[in-house]
Structure 1
Amino acid sequence: MDEMKDAVKRKMSFAQTLRAVFWSFIGLRKGSEHERDMAQLNPVHVIIAGLIGVAILIAVLITVVRVVVG
């Protein structure tokens, strides 16, 4: 249980987490950056950023389909 509390207290801001998740979505991450981020990312922020990223991806895909078809 202490491990979870320690993970939630990690130091990266939500904006930094969004940046890390964005670069992970498009697959452009350096190994050294990945290792550094894993030690500092807040897991709650990662989940929220991932959900936001998925919602944006779905919205973009729906928009592209509507433009192409309609």
Structure 2
Amino acid sequence: MAGEQPKDALKRKLSFAQTMRAIAWAFFGVRKGAEHDKDMSLNPVHVIIAALIGAAIFIGVLVLIVRAVVG
């Protein structure tokens, strides 16, 4: 990676775990400039799946909080 050319780095796709991390930070609205540049090589299918998983987790946490407060 140290000798990697910028064009080669852009061709490299990020793993699903890295996509999940990017989506998690996106839910909070916090992203560094350098990390944003890496996001350009995200796999669109991974982004959709990660966003659906993140949304399901978010809704699940909200339901648990409401049940704890109401019950």
TM-score (ref. length: structure 2): 0.79
In the alignment, structure 1 residue 58 sits paired with structure 2 residue 69: no
Q: Deviations over 1:5-38 (max 9, x none)?
A: xxxx851100000000001101110123112211
Q: What RMSD in Å do the two structures reach over aligned CA positions?
A: 1.4
- Aligned match of 2:4: none
- Larger Rg computed on CA atoms: 2
1:28 to 27, 30, 55: 30
Counterpart amino acid of 2:34? S
Contact 1:11 1:41 in 2 (8 A): yes
The runs of 5 or more residues in structure 1 that have no matched partner are 1-8
TM-score (ref. length: structure 1): 0.80
The runs of 5 or more residues in structure 2 that have no matched partner are 1-10
Moved over 3 A (4+): none
| Distance change in 2, residues 1:57/1:20 (3 Å) | same
